[in-house]
Structure formats: structure tokens, C-alpha cells
Structure 1
Amino acid sequence: MMATGTTNVGFEEKLWSAADKLRSNMDAAEYKHVVLGLIFLKYVSDSFEEKYLQLLLEGYGDEEDRDEYLAVNVFWVPKEARWSVIKSHATSPDIGKIIDDAMEAIERENDSLKGVLTKNYSRPELDKTRLGELVTLFTNIEVGSTAAQEKDVLGRVYEYFLSKFASAEGKLGGEFYTPSCIVRTLVEMIEPFEGQIFDPACGSGGMFCQSARFVKEHQGNVRDISIFGQESNPTTWKLAKMNLAIRGLEANLGKHNADSFHDDQHKTLKANYILANPPFNISDWGGERLQDDVRWKYGIPPVGNANFAWLQHMIHHLNPIGGVAGTVLANGSLSSNTSNEGEIRKNMINGDVVECIVSLPGQLFYSTGIPVSLWILRKGKTEYSQNKILFIDARNLGHMIDRKVRELSEEDIQQIASTYQNWRQGKEYEDVKGFCKSATLKEVADQDYILTPGRYVGIAEQEEDSEPFEEKMTRLTNELYGLFEESHSLEDEIKRKLAAIGYGEEK
């Protein structure tokens, strides 16, 4: 049994290791839906059971009245779909059909989940013994005394598993998952306390979950934010629906999955905050069919690259009074002059909607090792940021968490966010050579409207070395000869030891 009082460090990792052992030879992309679907099923059942027991104890409500649950935003779970039924069949060869029937029943009773849940657990190629072991694994999660703790842990487990599946899937993982340290950096920078939050390429919904967490951590009310999203991939759209539901977050993700450029599900939306990690450098986005689109205020984006289409789509959806967007883009967008991109960037800069650019280190993504940048776009800048752009070069921040992936620490995130906030609020900000620079629009124009932070922040000053060259050379040479002598001494000692046990001869 896997237990944790208030969730020990490494709890999610232990659970992942156990679940991953049951994967056997199944492809990570396929197994993802098996596991995440079960976590979601347990979540909705646990939420239902919590309300069920409350009604039972209070005595004045009908615990089998569907409306009692819908009134408090709890999914109605029919008897055959409750986790108590699922776990009782964990060792049955029919466990796959039992789960499929449960998913069908939940979708049938809850309109917002129609067409969202995984319903192919009974397929012959899915090992039913391992499936039953997964059910037992999730059954045995113990997280403390309250249902609230249970639900919080299931939400965190869902999010953690998303990250692990993204890692396992490699390049394809980038389609549904943005590394949490990047999401946290954007959220800390734009501070989405209240109002409408929009993500036009929302993936599995990580931007929204982190925004809700930010509000809670700063003693705000999650009900003060309204969530709007859009996602073109149908499978990823379903993941987002489940991810938000398991967090208890209501959201409008459109009537169905859809392409943001050609089937905008939120045409009239003017959001207070936009958070996005759109796919980089898309070449087949259908731009040739949108040449006269109202969104292209700063210029027609090239049909061969959607980067500046994404930027202008976001600006179009910003509230004209202080609306702010934080997005991730490949570094090429900072300097490219091909196919009208340079002209669009120039017009955006002169229109004073670009507020901050942050260069991030490479290897932050599971899907690509290329370095990326954060763009902060704002309508209605403060008096301190008008006609200026803050450049932050954070390429030297972060640490490797394995051989392939780097991560920003909490200190790194706060350093970036506090530098930006102090600058735009006119607080204690100073340019730091090699890290940050507040540049006027004229200075940017002098650099041909290229937005690469390294051009502006310069190189960090090195500590002065007062030791004369001749003395340093003598010292280093003596140190080197000393190391040579130590090496020879160790070599002789090794030879003596080997000779003593019969390997080689002592000379």
C-alpha cells in the first residue's frame, strides 16, 4: 500500500515507477490514455462519494438525487461506475468491459464529458491482469484524512504523469505538454489574478492549472478567473478537459477541438490574460486562405511560418485596457527578416505592444533541444514601460535534471519575474550587464528591430585579476609540475600494490 500523510517528497515518482512497471511493452502514447483515464475515473468517483456521504450524514438530502451533485459542480456517477464497483472486479477477466461500461455511463449522465473519456479498455491487446493491477495501485493511494487532500493529490498525480509521458514520448510529447518551469515563469510574470484567461493552443491545460495555483497561493479566489481555451488535436483536447475537471476548474474549451486560425471558437473574446505555447515554426497552417484576415493588424504573416500569425492572433484577443499576453516562441522570431516577418516585428515594436523579451536556456523541452524565448505583449503599458522594452538574458540559468533536459529552479523563476515586475512598476530596477537591460524603442530601432536580448544586455563583467601575468604563469606552471609529480608517485604506488598481489613485477 502506498501511503503518505500530506504527500511525501517523491510520492508521485513512486507511483509513476509502479505504474510504469505495469506498462510492459505497451507504447507510452497508448498507455498514457489507459493510466490517465483511470486516474480521472477515480477522481470523479471520489468526489461523488464525498458528496454522497455528506448527504447521508446530514439526513435531509437525497443521496441518489442527481441534482444535489450538479448543483455543487460534482459529476453524477451512476452506481455501476463507482470506484467501489471497479475495484471489486480488479482480478476479473472482465475488468476491461467493467471500466468501459463505467466510462459510457459517466458520459451518458454528464453532458460536459460526452466524447471525452477513454472507452477501449476491453480491447484484446490490453493485458487484463496488468489493468487490474493498475486499478489496485490507484485504489491503494492513501493521502490523509480528508477527501480534499485526496482530490488534490489525484490532480497532482495527473499533472505529474502528463510530464512523465511527455518525456517518454520525446518529440511527440511536446504536442500536449509545456514544461512546468516555463509555465510557472509566464504565470509569475503576468500574474493572472482575476478576469478572463485564454490559451489558443492549450494542449493538456497546464497553463490554466498553474494560473489557478497562482491565484490560490496569493490568497485569491479561483472563481474570479474565467478560463477559455482552444486545441486542434482531438486527443489532446480530451486530455485538457479531463485535466481541468480533475482540478475542479470550469472552462470553455470550445464546442470541439478546432484550429485557432480557421475555426476560432472565441471570436469575440477580449481576454485580460493570454498564456500560450503554440507549436513552433508551423509551415502548413493555411495562411494563404487568410490573407485579408482582420487579425493581421501589423502585417500579413508568411504562409510558410505561423509564428507571427500566433502573435497577432493573441494581440487581437487581448483586452484593449491592460490586456497582457505571455507566450513561448522559437528564437528565430526575434531576428528573422524573411517573408515580411521583420516588417511585422517592426510594426509591433512601433505600436508599443512588445513589453519584455526573455531568452531562455536550451534543453527545457522534452520535444526539442532548441532554445526559446518568452514574449510579453501588453495593451496599455504603465508609465514606466511605455516606449521601452525590457530584455532579459536568462540563458545561463537552470540546471540539468537528466542527460537531456534542463529545468529552471524556483529561484531562477523568481529572479526573472521580479526583475520584470520591478521594471514595469518603477521599483528598484537597475540594468545588470549580461542579464537585463531596459531599452528605448529608438535603441531597438538602431538595432534594426532585432529583439535578441544578447544584443542589448551585453556581456557580464568579469572580476578583475590583479595578479601580474608573469607571476600567474610561474604559479600555474609550478602547480602543473606538482600535479605531474603526484601522478608519477601514484603510478609507482599502484605498481607496488599490484606486485604485492602477484600482478606484474615490482621494479
Structure 2
Amino acid sequence: MDNGTYNQIVSFIWSIADDCLRDVYVRGKYRDVILPMTVIRRLDAVLEETKEQVLQMKKMLDEAGVLNQTEALCSAAGQAFYNTSPFILKDLKSRAKSQQLKADFIAYLDGFSPNVQEILEKFKFRNQIDTMIEADILGAVIEKFVSPTINLSPNPVLDDKGEVKLPGLDNHTMGLIFEELIRKFNEENNEEAGEHFTPRDVVELMADVIFMPIKDKIKDGTYLCYDGACGTGGMLTIAEERLSELAKEHNKQISIHLYGQEINPETYAIAKADMLLKGDGKEADNIYYGSTLSNDANAAMEFDFMLSNPPYGKSWKTDAERLGGKNNITDPRFVVNFKGDPEFKMIPRVSDGQMLFLANNVAKMKHGTELGSRIAEVHNGSSLFTGDAGQGESNLRRYIIENDYLEAIIALPDNMFYNTGIATYIWVVTNRKEERRKGKVQLIDATNLKSPLRKNLGNKNCELTKEIRQQIMDIYLRFEENEYSKIFNNEEFGYWKITVERPLRLKVEINNEKLESFKQAAEEAKDITAYSLVKDLYIETKKEVYYNYNEFEELLKDIAKRKGEKLPVKRIKLIRKFFTTRDEKAERVVNKVLKKEKEDALNGKFKLGNDIVEFEVDKELTDTEQVPLTYDGGIKKFFENEVLPYAPDAWIDNSKTQIGYEISFTKYFYKPVQLRSIDEIVADLKALEAETEGLLQEIIGG
């Protein structure tokens, strides 16, 4: 089919909305009728030739009492779907009465096979019938779709001389027409388009990133492509096209099977319908409805190629609850055995579940094949850096990078998507890096590689032309450093998060005024003994200030022992809270004396006289530091160089040390603004001064 005929069909179907729906539906709702009717008309046209055979088979099966009829009816229809109603769509345009049209149209819809019924259900198309009947437009819509001026049948329409009047519409072209209608409707309704529809230029770049590096390694055989957030299925379709082209170029015979899952009912219906319209009946069965996160329909599957554009900043609280609650999730996609931790959690905050889709894809990689798996996934900037060391987001980055799966990240221009202008990035992940890439990650800054659109499409104001995509691919494939490309060892993105502790230093102050106030506090706490112990100590020692809290506590214990009293923890806390203040001049407070005679400064254990002691931590002075994994000498050297010179009494609590990973494009691609020279500034000031003097002279002279 030539482009002229293709464009004519798209324009004709698009015009049906304006001709028939304008006064009944708001513009954003045209798709609720046009998309399902396009599906229905195409399926109807495909089934026309075998209608009689299907009706005969249906009659025979009913008479024989056969209950499971689907396979036999599909066989009679010669398709992966069928319709057992006595009507074809052309029969219904002649109905004079609207109620008869409604009854017959519903009977016609009821005759479709279960897979088509599911599509109609997810489209909620039956909800539109009453609206169209009440507005008396159903007949007009049907008449438009069966118009002799267009041909949605796979067979050509001949004229009186037997020559082709209208060419047949093959499955592939029908699929393209349907995709074009989806694109046009998405552009008309930009606010929600970006949630389910990724611009074709971005998808084509993702497909190139997935396939071009391994194009010479494609062999005869079967390949599986997957999208766990498939929306309308556009990524799968383009991936299939690209892989097929490369296989053909290299004379390889391949079979491609597409798998996807989608939680939005309408976009799920579109994806499944698109597969049926292309003649991929069995492929349509591989598109599943439901949440990939909490109801994974492909839990036992592994895939060769995976592409996704998961939702950003979208809460997955409902999924978390279905999985048992965020803190009780055990799904092996998100909780793995890693680096000696059998429950290494890669679970992000519930306010944003985008990284779970990446974890889902990583869990579905093939490890036993030569090509392994390749993943391209779009994320916003938060996936690069959110989550502290030890938290879910950081853990996932760590898992991917330390397993040497992260091949590259490409920063896209702003305003590339319909519903957001924020920064977006393509993550390229594989478990089969080529030798030169092993242990390394390539960052590509393509933020300035863009072509402006003549007309904005929602937030989208630029595109990646074929030439720009080729430029990005050249940068990616050359794997060299330049202004757009930086290459780093994996360790560059990792750090130790260490917890630096300081000892608590307490000064004790006792005087008559404080004692009087403490008496009231002790009475309120129902522990007047605490008051009497401190008072007796004060009377006996006449000491008002202690810079050594340990000394004070020992004296207090001695007084209590002599009086036959005890100093339980609750009583000590009451006394300490009232009489002590933090003071840098005071001695360190000993938490306990250790029997193990081994000095370990990094754990807060020090020699104090002949004892090994553990000092009490001053929580107000507790601090954390990020130590790069690449720091020469590691944590020990960093501590010696960066901490001890400023806090000689500090130590590291090794039990709290965590490893984290984050990636900062700003850090690696930041270009400082060139400041103007003094001469330039002075020249501008003189020019302004001269201009001002001239104005003043004009005013005075006037």
C-alpha cells in the first residue's frame, strides 16, 4: 500500500469523529468510540470470507453438545478470533428503528470470541451504545466504517472491469494505521498521553541501544521481548520491527515473541487489539492485564530483550499491601541473596515505584545464553540518587553495578515526553558486557542533542531526529570520552556511609537552689530517695561542680550503698537529667568497662588507665560521612585524614557502616559559566554612565 492510500484511510477514520461524534462527545472522548470501532470493523472485514463456515461449525458443535468450542471455531474462521452472530457489520446499517439496531448490534458484539470480548470489556465499549442510540448516531458511525470508499479488508476491492479499485490492507499496515490513530488521539489528549505512550523517537533510540551492539551476534532462532509496563504496546512493536530488520540484513531466520503486562484497562485493550489487528493472535495472548509489581504474569519467564517506560513518582502503596506490606515483602525480584545478606532488600519508598520495574526486569534476565539479556528502561532523575546507603533505591543501584550489569545511562533532553518536562534517562543494563566495557559504566549527556518541534505536543517541544539518534548511537558505540561521553570504573559511583561517634562529656553542677528544685521533681517522679542521695552527697563533699561524671556516679553509688539504697537505671536517669549539662571541657562518660583486653579505636573502645572502656555516645554530635570507594587507603585513611584532625576523640561505629551508590550527571558534566572580565564590566559601566549623562542633559536643556 502506498503512502497516499495509507494517509487516506487514517484521515477518513479520523474524520468519522468530527462528522458523527462532535455534538455528542467532548473531543478527549472520541477515542472511546473510534478505537474500538476500528478494531471491530477490521475484525469484521477479516471474518467476512469465512462467516458461513463459522456458522455451520457453530451449529454442528451445538447439536453435538460440545462445550469448549473456541479452537474449532477459530479453525473454521482461519483466525485467532471469530464471530458466531448471524450478522456482519454491513447488515446493521440498514436498520430503520434504533431499538432494533441496538438489539442486533449487541447480539453482533456478543458473537465475538472471548479474546475480543475481553478487549471490548476493557475498552468499556458497551457503555457507549446507549449514548450513541440516544443521540441517534450509532447507525451513522457503522455506515461510515463500512463505507465503500475505504477498504479495511485484507482483500482488494475490484471495479466492474476486474481491476483493483481499493488495495487490500495487510495486517502489518493495519497495525500501523491503528498505531497512527493512537498517536493522534494521544497528541489530542496530551495530559494523559505520557502515562501510557512513549514518543516514537525515544522508543526508536531505545531499540537501537538494545539491538545495535549485538547485531552481528544475532543467530537463527527464537527471541523473546518483554515490557512490564507496556501501555499501548508501542515499545514491543518497534522492538520487533528493529530486530526483524537487523536479522534480515544479516540473513538470519528468527522468530520473535512479544510479552507484556499493563494495569490500565484501556491501554491494555489497545495493546491486545493491536496484536490481533496485525494477525498476531497468539502474541495477543501474551499481553496480560494487571499489576506487574503485585501480580506478575510472567513470574517464571526469562527474556532476551526488555524495554520499559515505567510510571515515575507514582505510589505503589496498593501493590505493597498486596505483597504483604512494605516491610514484609519476600518477592525474589525485590529481595535477593547478595554479598552474604540473604535478605538484601531493593525496595524503594512507597511514593515512587519506578525502580521496582527495573528490579523486575533484572530478575528476568537470561544467564545461560550467549547473548544473555539486554534492558533499556526510561527513568526520571530520582532513580540516579534517591535513597540513602542501605535503602532500597541505593541497594538496587549497588546490586546492578556490583554485578557489572550497568552498561550506560543516557541523559535525554528536557521536554521529550508529552506529560512532563523533567529530566529523563535511559538505563542500559546487560549481563553480557563486551570485554572493553567490563567493570565500567558509560554516561552520555545527550541533553543538548535535540531538534525543536514546529508545534508543541503537550510538554514535548523537541524530538530526536534520525540523524540525532545516529549521533547518540555513534557516541555510545565508540565508547570513547569526549564532551558528551564519560567513562568510569564501577567503583566511582559507590561510597561507604560511616557513622562517626563522639563521646558524651557531662559536667555536674549541684547547689542549694538546684537541690530545692530537684526535691519537687523527685516528688513528682515519686522517688524522693533520689533527692536525699544527692543531698547527702552534697553535704558530705561540699563539691558543687564535677567535670568527671563517672566520679560523681561512683560517689553517689557509695552513698547509696552506705544508706542501704540502690541506684537503678530509672533513678540515675532522673538525677542525670536534672544536674548535668554537656560540656566540652568535661571528661568522657564511660558506658562500661570491657573484660576483653583489646584496644579497637574504631569501635569506641579505648584504654583508660588499666581498663578497656566503651564511652557513652553523645547523640547530638553523631555525624555521618560518605567515603568514596575509590578513596586511597579506604575508610581508615579517610578517618585519619578528614576526621581525627578536627575531632581527636571520635571513633567509627563499624556496625552502622553501609555501602551506597549514586550517580550524578551534574557532577561529571557540569560546565561552569565563564565570568566576565573586569575590563568588560568597566566598559559597560562607562557606557551606561555616558548614556545617563546624555539623558540628564536633555532633561535640563528641555
TM-score interval for Structure 1 and Structure 2 normalised by the shorter chain: 0.7 to 0.9
Report deviation, 1:202.
Answer: 1.4
Residue in 2 that maps onto 1:294: 332
What does residue range 96-245 of structure 1 map to in structure 2 within 5 Å?
Answer: 96-106=102-112, 110-117=113-120, 118-124=125-131, 129-139=136-146, 140-142=149-151, 149-191=169-211, 194-218=222-246, 220=248, 224-245=255-276
Q: Structure 1 99/177 Cα, relative in aligned 2: closer, same or farther at 3 Å?
A: farther
Structure 1 CA distance for aligned equivalents of residues 43 and 261 of structure 2: 23
Task: Determine whether 1:411 maps to 2:467.
Answer: yes
The 8 Å contact of residues 357 and 453 in structure 1, kept in 2 or not, is answered as no
Q: Is the 8 A contact 1:93 1:129 kept in 2?
A: no
For 2:349, the equivalent position in structure 1 comes to 303
Aligned equivalents of 2:242, 2:427: Cα separation in 1: 20
Preserved CA contact (<8 Å) 2:235 2:307: yes
Secondary structure in 2 matching 1:7: helix
Partner of 1:503: none
SS of equivalent residue, structure 1 residue 228: strand
Asked if 2 retains the 8 angstrom alpha-carbon contact of 1:356 and 1:389, the reply is yes
Distance 1:255 1:68, change over 3 A: closer
Contact 1:197 1:226 in 2 (8 A): yes
Aligned equivalents of 1:214 and 1:90: distance in 2? 49
Matches within 5 A, 1:54-69: 69=75
Q: CA deviation at 1:158?
A: 1.5
**Change in CA separation of 1:346 and 1:205 when aligned onto 2, cut-off 3 Å:** same
Q: Secondary structure at the match of 1:374?
A: strand
For residues 187 and 97 of structure 2, the distance between their equivalents in structure 1, rounded to whole angstroms, comes to 31
Structure 2 CA distance for aligned equivalents of residues 323 and 180 of structure 1: 23
**2:487 paired residue among 413, 417, 438:** 438
- Aligned 8 A contact 2:380 2:424 in 1: yes
Give a deviation string over 1:56-91, Cα, whole Å, max 9, x none. Answer: 9xxxx9996665756853532346443332455599
Distance 1:188 1:97, change over 3 A: farther
**TM-aligned CA deviation for residue 243 of structure 1:** 1.6
Deviations 1:123-152 (A, max 9, x none): 145665544443344333248758653544
**Would the alpha carbon gap of residues 8 and 147 (structure 1) be closer, same or farther in structure 2, given more than 3 Å must change?**
closer
Post-superposition Cα deviations, 1:408-462, rounded to whole Å, max 9, x if no partner, equal: 2222233333443x24xxxxx43331x2233322444469843344544565999
Partner of 2:424: 372
Q: Retained in 1: the 8 A contact 2:406–2:428? A: yes
What corresponds to 1:75 in structure 2? 81
Native 8 Å contact 1:324 1:377 kept in 2: yes
What letter is aligned with 2:37? L
Give the match for residue 263 of structure 1: 295
Indicate conservation of the 8 Å contact 1:325/1:377, yes or no: yes
Structure 1 window deviating more from structure 2 (342-351 vs 370-379): it is 342-351
Distance change (3 Å), C-alpha of 1:384 and 1:157: same
3-state DSSP class of the match of 1:243? helix
Task: Report the AA paired with residue 280 of structure 1.
Answer: Y
Give, as a single letter, the amino acid of the residue that structure 1 aligns with 2:230.
C
Identify which range, 205-214 or 130-139, moves more after superposition.
130-139
CA deviation map 1:373-418 (0-9, x unaligned): 1111111222122111122222221322523323322222333334
Shift of 1:269: 0.6
Asked whether the 8 Å contact 2:85–2:107 carries over to 1, the reply is no
Matched AA of 1:208: L
Q: Deviations over 1:288-325 (max 9, x none)?
A: 34533211236331232212222111100111241111
Does structure 2 conserve the Cα–Cα contact (< 8 Å) formed by 1:354 and 1:377? yes
1-side partners of 2:107 and 2:472: how far apart? 49
Deviation of 1:44 after TM superposition, in Å, equals 1.2
Q: Are residues 136 and 368 of structure 1, via their aligned partners in 2, closer, same or farther at CA, if it must alter by over 3 Å?
A: farther
CA distance, structure 2, for counterparts of residue 6 and residue 461 of structure 1? 51
Q: Is the 8 A contact 2:387 2:393 kept in 1?
A: yes
Q: Which amino acid aligns with 1:119?
A: R
SS, match of residue 429 in structure 2: strand
Shift of the alpha carbon at 1:245? Answer: 0.9
- Determine if contact 2:378/2:424 at 8 Å carries over to the other structure: yes
SS of equivalent residue, structure 1 residue 123 = helix
Paired residue secondary structure (2:262): coil
Higher mean displacement: 301-310 or 8-17:
8-17
- The structure-2 alpha-carbon separation of the partners of 1:99 and 1:16, relative to structure 1 and needing over 3 Å to count, comes to same
Query: Do residues 400 (structure 1) and 399 (structure 2) align?
Result: no
Q: Secondary structure in 2 aligned to 1:141?
A: coil
Distance 1:29 1:98 in 2: 28
The one-letter code matched in structure 1 to 2:272 is K
- On the 8 A contact 2:226/2:307 being kept in 1, the answer is yes
- Relative to structure 1, the CA distance from residue 97 to residue 182 in structure 2 (aligned partners, 3 Å threshold; closer, same or farther) is farther
> 1:23 aligns to what?
21
Task: Describe the shift of the 1:165–1:386 C-alpha distance in structure 2 as closer, same or farther (beyond 3 A).
Answer: same
Residue 344 of structure 1 aligns to a residue in which SS?
helix
Sort the Cα spacing of 1:7 and 1:127 in 2 relative to 1 into closer, same or farther, 3 A. farther
Taking a change above 3 Å as real, the CA distance of residues 15 and 412 of structure 1, as seen in their structure-2 partners, is farther
Q: Aligned equivalents of 1:102 and 1:4: distance in 2?
A: 33
Q: Cα distance, 1:42 vs. partner? A: 1.6
CA separation in 2, counterparts of 1:167 and 1:93? 36
C-alpha separation in 1, matches of 2:25 and 2:42: 24
Q: Which one-letter code corresponds to 1:279 in the other structure?
A: P
Q: Secondary structure at the match of 1:400?
A: strand
Q: Name the stretch that deviates more: 216-225 or 37-46.
A: 216-225
Contact 1:91/1:129, CA 8 A, preserved across alignment: no
Q: 1:456 to 1:235 in 2, by over 3 A?
A: same
Q: Tell me whether 1:327 sits opposite 2:377 in the alignment.
A: yes
1:169 is displaced (CA, Å) by: 3.0
Amino acid at match of 1:243: D
Q: Contact 1:47–1:147 at 8 Å: present in 2 too?
A: no
C-alpha distance in structure 2 between counterparts of 1:90 and 1:358, whole Å: 60
Task: Tell me the equivalent position of 2:34.
Answer: 35
Query: 1:376 aligns to what SS in structure 2?
Result: strand
C-alpha contact (below 8 Å) 2:261/2:292 kept by paired residues: yes
Note closer, same or farther for the CA distance 1:88–1:371 as it changes in structure 2 (3 Å cut).
farther
Instruction: State the number of aligned residues.
Output: 449
Which of 365, 368, 371 pairs up with 1:318? 365
Alpha-carbon contact 1:47-1:74 (below 8 Å) kept: no
Q: CA deviation at 1:37?
A: 0.9
Residues 250-259 or 285-294, more deviating: 250-259
Q: CA deviation at 1:226?
A: 1.5
Q: Which residue of 1 aligns with 2:569?
A: none
Higher strand share: 2
Question: Identical aligned pairs, as a percentage?
Answer: 22
Superimposed CA distance per residue, residues 459-502 of structure 1 (whole angstroms, 9 cap, x where no aligned partner): 5999xxxxxx99xx99xx9xxxxxxxxxxxxxxxxxxxxxxxxx
**1:277 counterpart = 2:270:** no
Given the superposition, is the C-alpha separation of residues 151 and 247 from structure 1 closer, same or farther in structure 2, using an over 3 Å criterion?
Answer: closer
What is the distance in 1 between the residues matched to 2:474 and 2:56?
51
Q: 1:173 to 1:280 in 2, by over 3 A?
A: same
What is the letter of the counterpart of residue 279 of structure 2? G
Q: Is the 8 A contact 2:440 2:490 kept in 1?
A: yes
